[in-house]
Amino acid sequence: MNFPVVEFPWLGNGTVIAIIAIVHVIVSHGVAIGITTLMVSMEHRAIHTNNEQLEQTARKISKWVLIFTTTVGAMTGVGIWFSTTVIQPDSIGSLLRIFFWAWFVEWIVFVTEVVLLIIYYFTWDKWKGAKKVIHNRIGIALAIFSWITAAIITGILSAKLTPGRWTETLSFWNAFFNPTYMPSLAFRTFIAIILGVALLSFPIKIFIKNKELQQEIFRVFSFWTAISLPGLLITGIWYLQSIPQEAYDMIVWSTGMTKNTFTIMNVLGLAAFVIFAFWMVLRPKKLPLLLSLAIFGTSMAFIAEFEAVRESVRKPFIIYNYMYANGVLAKNEDLYREEGYLKHSTFSPVKEVTSDNRAQAGMELYKGQCMACHTVDGWREKRAFSNRLNGWDEESIASYIETLHETRPFMPPFVGTEEEKKALAHYLSKVTKKEPVTAVSEGK
């Protein structure tokens, strides 16, 4: 441990990050890119068809885009920074050394995006007549800058999955333009549009009663859906072909589905969107509310799946082939096994296992190598400890720790001496039995 540990005991550290990240993706992709693109397209059509009602609908949507982007989007963006910095400081520190200027440029782009959004929203009444075209161009610029934000962040995120040569060269360009960058960016672009369609379709069916207006709106949606659906399929396959085979196998392992089941579920989801797209084109006035709701649910499932896949493909790493999920550098495995993990743990009060401090040493090992994903209480405790280790003796737990990364390949290997492994087993035995762990003073 190079940094002090922070624990969210009931939910677990990983779950806290996941909740914030999923909400942020829905806003940053579905709202900032997807809905913004649809909104600007609706205004463009309204200008060329002189449809005042369609223009007013786009104006109402811009209000909610402004609210969600500057509140939920901004707060969860900052929330990701805060949560990952305190939970995974080693990972963030490593990435900052390579991507500092990329993150700085992304901040400038995001500020520009917010400024354009404010200008766009507050100039609806000021730019009338011929100036409507200028207003629409501001909206186009807004959509482009929203996409550029995602384009920069995708380079950083995809580097964590398939770093390629950057872990050897520490080159920004090797890291940013990694093998999965282009397919990941293309896939994110199309899924953002699909998500935007799904997020808007349901409220439009509920709140807009004018069938003619619904028809105009769904014509815009059908245009973007016709582009995005095949794009989503092609780029999804491209992405899966770009990741290492070990990473692809990890998707199947972590989801608990066979490759065929995984494929069938995605084909069914895409089929639902195809039906939705054809219905929007052929009978937009009679688009069923239930189908709109189903598409909303399907899009949420796609986002959840995408985030799950993104996390699964890099396990047991947090940065693929470079740093394990618990912050241990892969290059330090042999060093820790020979000299001990605790000796090199900056913030551990215990540096060596003795007969007096076995439980406390085990707790420090747990903090450094387990706590990133597990909790000793809360909902994750029952799955990992109470249910799995119940009735096991310390020797059995120690044997399980030794081969854990082989039987459960999405988990990092334990790195430490034999005595440290036994100390961790001793601590986990106490946790399973709900026995208290008493700290031993350094002078004892």
Residue 119 has pLDDT above 90, yes or no: yes
Residue in 58, 84, 71, 92 with CA at minimum distance from that of residue 23: 71
Residues 6 or more apart whose CB falls under 8 angstroms from that of 146 comprise: 32, 33, 36, 113
pLDDT in tens, 72-95: 999 999 998 888 888 888 888 888
Query: Which comes out higher in pLDDT, residue 360 or 129?
Result: 360
Q: Give the model's pLDDT for residue 69.
A: 93
Strands (E), 152-253: none
Q: Give the model's pLDDT for residue 444.
A: 39
Query: Which comes out higher in pLDDT, residue 105 or 436?
Result: 105
Beta bridge partners of 323: 319, 329
Residue 346 has pLDDT above 90, yes or no: no
Global model pTM greater than 0.85: no
Enclosing H/E stretch for 319: strand 317-319
Q: Give the model's pLDDT for residue 312.
A: 65
Average pLDDT, stretch 363-373? 87
Quickly list DSSP for 13-46: HHHHHHHHHHHHHIIIIIIIIIIHHHHHHHHHHH
Average pLDDT, stretch 308-329? 79
Q: Give the model's pLDDT for residue 425.
A: 92
Q: Give the model's pLDDT for residue 422.
A: 93
Residue 194 has pLDDT above 70, yes or no: yes
pLDDT in tens, 300-314: 777 777 666 666 667
Q: Distance of CA 74 to CAs 23, 69, 114, 143, 198, Å?
A: 11, 6, 10, 17, 22
Residue 208 has pLDDT above 70, yes or no: yes
pLDDT in tens, 171-185: 888 889 888 899 989
pLDDT in tens, 260-314: 666 777 777 778 878 877 887 777 777 777 777 777 777 777 777 766 666 666 7
Per-residue pLDDT band at 8 (split at 50, 70, 90): confident
Mean pLDDT of all residues belonging to the chain:
84
The CA distance from 56 to 132, in Å, is 13
Query: Which comes out higher in pLDDT, residue 28 or 383?
Result: 28
Highest mean pLDDT among 46-55, 207-216, 234-243, 262-271: 46-55
The residue type of 115 is V
Q: Give the model's pLDDT for residue 72.
A: 93
Q: Give the model's pLDDT for residue 259.
A: 63
Q: Give the model's pLDDT for residue 153.
A: 92
The CA distance from 220 to 197, in Å, is 10
Average pLDDT, stretch 313-332? 84
Residue 160 has pLDDT above 90, yes or no: no
Residue 113 has pLDDT above 90, yes or no: yes
CA 251, distance to chain mean position in Å, is 15
Highest mean pLDDT among 159-163, 255-259, 268-272, 377-381: 268-272
Contact between 13 and 7 under an 8 Å Cβ cutoff? The reply is yes
Residues 6 or more apart whose CB falls under 8 angstroms from that of 190 comprise: 227, 228, 229, 231, 232, 235
Cα angle 88, 91, 92 (rounded to 5 degrees) comes to: 85
Query: Which comes out higher in pLDDT, residue 259 or 218?
Result: 218
Per-residue pLDDT band at 55 (split at 50, 70, 90): very high
pLDDT in tens, 385-425: 666 777 788 899 999 999 888 888 788 999 999 999 999 99
Percentage with pLDDT > 70 across the chain: 89
Q: Give the model's pLDDT for residue 307.
A: 67
Beta bridge partners of 319: 323
